[in-house]
Amino acid sequence: MFAAENGLKGDPRLQAISRAIRVVPDFPKPGIMFQDITTLLLDHKAFKDTVDIFVDRYRDMDVSVVAGVEARGFMFGPAIALAIGAKFVPLRKPRKLPGEVISESYVLEYGTDCLEMHVGAVEPGERVIVIDDLVATGGTLSAAIKLLERVGAEVVECACVIGLPEVKDRCGIKGKPLYILVEPRLLDECC
Amino acid sequence: MSAYKDNDPRIHGIKTRIRVVPNFPKPGIMFQDITTLLLDPQAFKDTIDLFVERYQGKNISVVAGIEARGFIFGPPIALAIGAKFVPLRKPKKLPGEVISEEYTLEYGRDCLQMHVGAVEPGDRALVVDDLIATGGTLCAAMNLLERVGAQVVECACVIELPDLKGRERLHGKPLYVLVESH
C-alpha cells in the first residue's frame, strides 16, 4: 500500500517528497495538523518525481481514465493522465459541472457532502485510477469509487500522495487497493 | 501582444472538443465546458504543448493557476517548463499565511488568495485559467503576483470571450489564448 513497501524502499525521491510537504497546525480547526502539498508544488524536482512515480506505476496497467477529486486531485491527476495517454475526469463538488451529472453523497465528521461526475465521461469497462492529494478516513475516495462503479467502470487503484494512519492497516478502500507515497509529517520534523 | 494560433493544425481539434452548455450556471449564459477536451488525450496534450512551446526557454519561474480549472492546465505546463506551480484559491482554502485580493463580480464581490512566500520578488510569472470573460479574476490574480514583486509576463487561457473585452482589463499585460468564442 505504501510505495516504500511496494518496490520503492529507500528511494531517495520519497524522502524529498516528504520533506517538501509543509505541516500547518490547527487548520482548518484546532487539533488538525494539516498536510500542505502546496510547498511540494513549489519544488519542481519533487513535484516532477511525484508525478513520475505514479506514471511509472500506471503506464503499463491499461488505465484509460484518471479521475481527480476536486480540487487538489486536479493538481496531480492531469499530468499523470497526459503521460499515460488516459482521459482526465474531474470529480467535483455540487453544481460546478455543467450539463448532466450523477451524484454520490458521503458522510463527514459533521454532516454530509457530495461528489459529482459528468454522465458519459466514463464508459462501462474502462479501467480507472482515482487520485487525490491525501486520504484520511477514505470517505471521499469511497464516494469516488461508487460513482465510477455506478457507470460500470473498474477502479484499478486509488492513488494518494499522503496517507493518514487510519488507512495504514486497512485493505484498501471498499476492497480497492490504495497506493500511497508518504506518511504524514509531524510538526517537529519541519524545517 | 496576443496571438491566435488559427493556422496551427492542432487548434481545430481543441476547439471542436470544447462543449457549449446553454443556460449554465444561469439562463442566458452559454457555458464553455472544457471537461470534454480533457476526455480527448490527444487534444488535451496538444493544448498543453501549445502553451509549453510558447513559454519554454523564456525563464518563467512561476505558473499561477486560478482555482479550480486553472489547476488542470497550470501544473502540466509548470512541470514541462521547469517552473513552480502556485495555486490561487478562493478564501479559506489555503492553510497558513495568505495575501488576499478582492474583485468585483456582476453581483457582489469575491476574493482570491495566494500563499505568502510562494512567489518571490523578481519571479517571472504566467497566470493560467481555462477561460477569460470580463477579466476580473485574471486582474485580481495579476495584482496578487505584482504585490509580492513578481513580474507577470503573460496571461494564458484556453478560451477567450472577446465580446466581454477582458483583454482590456489586464493593465496592458499580454494575453495569449488558443480559441475564441463569440
pLDDT tens digits along A94-129: 999 999 999 999 988 778 999 999 999 999 999 999
A72 carries an active-site annotation: yes
C-beta atoms of A78 and B73 within 8 A = yes
Rounded to 10°, the helix A44-58/A73-84 angle is: 50
Of B48, B72, B115, the CB nearest to A38: B115
Residues A125, A153: contact at Cβ < 8 Å? yes
For chain A positions 169-188, those within 8 Å of chain B (CB to CB) are none
**Alpha-carbon distance values, A4 to A8, A183, B10, B69 (Å):** 5, 10, 41, 32
> Rounded to a whole number, what is the distance in Å from the CA of A115 to chain B's nearest CA?
15
Please check the confidence at residue A170 and state whether its pLDDT lies above 90: no
Global pTM?
A: 0.96
CB proximity B31 to A under 8 Å: yes
471537461: which residue's cell? B35
**Nearest residue on chain B to A47, alpha-carbon basis:** B79
Query: Cα–Cα distance between A8 and B72 in angstroms, integer?
Result: 28
Q: What is the pLDDT of residue B142?
A: 98
Q: Kindly determine whether residue B79 and residue A87, on different chains, have CB atoms separated by under 8 Å.
A: no
Q: Is B182 a residue whose pLDDT tops 60? A: yes
Instruction: Examine residue A90 and say whether the peptide bond preceding it is cis (omega within 30 degrees of 0).
Output: no
pLDDT on residue B4: 58
What pLDDT is attached to residue A185?
87
CA nearest to B92 within chain A: A28
- The whole-chain average pLDDT of chain B stands at 95
Q: What is the DSSP letter of A182?
A: E
Q: What percent of chain A has pLDDT over 90?
A: 81
* Beta carbons of B24 and A71 less than 8 Å apart: no
Provide the mean pLDDT of chain A.
94
Which residue of chain A is at minimal alpha-carbon distance from B63? A42
- On whether any CB of chain B is under 8 Å from the CB of A95, the answer is yes
With bands split at pLDDT 50, 70 and 90, how would you rate the model's confidence at B111?
very high
* Band of pLDDT at residue B5, cut at 50, 70 and 90: low
Give CA–CA dist A18/B87, Å, rounded. 20
Give which of A137, A145, A144 is closest to A168, Cα–Cα. Answer: A137
Grid cell for residue A118: 459528468
How many Å apart are CA B40 and CA B101, to the nearest integer?
Answer: 35
- Tell me if chain A has a CB within 8 Å of the CB of B56: no
Angle (nearest 5°) at CA B34 between B135 and B143: 25
Of A47, A85, A97, the CB nearest to B85: A47
Distance between A26 CA and the closest CA of chain B, angstroms? 9
Q: pLDDT digits over B119-143, tens only?
A: 999 999 999 999 999 999 999 999 9
Residue B2 — pLDDT band, cuts 50, 70, 90? Answer: very low
What are the residue numbers of the active site of B? 69, 106
Confidence category of residue A169, pLDDT binned at 50, 70, 90: low
The pLDDT of A70-74, averaged and rounded, is 97
A36, A89, A118 member nearest B95 (Cβ): A36
Shortest Cα distance, chain A CAs vs residue B6, angstroms: 24
B172 touches chain A (CB under 8 A): no
Task: Report pLDDT digits (tens) over B137-177.
Answer: 999 999 999 999 999 999 999 999 999 999 999 999 999 99
Q: Look at residue B71 and tell me whether its pLDDT is greater than 70.
A: yes
With CB atoms and an 8 Å threshold, state whether A98 touches B24.
yes
Per-residue pLDDT averaged across A170-185, rounded?
A: 88
Q: Using 50, 70 and 90 to split pLDDT, how confident is the model at A187?
A: confident
Q: How confident is the model at residue B6 (pLDDT cuts 50, 70, 90)?
A: low
